[in-house]
Amino acid sequence: MVTESITIANLKCQGCENSITKELLSIPGVENVTVNHESDSVTVMHDAQVLRDMLTSRLYKLGYPEATEKNGLLLQLKSYASCMIGRLG
């Protein structure tokens, strides 16, 4: 097992956490996802075939880019949508 820790932008609430967890667990080979609100980070345990780029790409598409990336308005809007979906799910 490999453990990746990724610092992300736009993490706001439990809805965000639910959306992130559900999406990352849908990737074959991902075993566990932990979202930490205090450090704005996501820790993912996965097998060696899952690449970090796969994880950051999924997070980016949800509106939670890696904190080192430019965080624009479109990504903030995507994160709000993911947040609301996570609250409903």
Q: Please report, for the chain, the start and end positions of each structural domain, with discontinuous segments joined by +.
A: 2-88
Question: Tell me: the pLDDT tens digits for 12-39?
Answer: 888 889 999 999 999 999 999 999 988 8
CATH 3.50.50.60 assigned to domain 2-88? The reply is: no
86: helix, strand or coil: helix
Is the overall model pTM greater than 0.95, yes or no?
A: no
How far is Cα 71 from Cα 69, in angstroms, rounded to an integer? 6
Question: Tell me: the pLDDT tens digits for 46-80?
Answer: 999 999 999 999 999 998 888 865 655 455 556 66
Residue 1: C-alpha distances to residues 4, 20, 47 (Å): 10, 20, 5
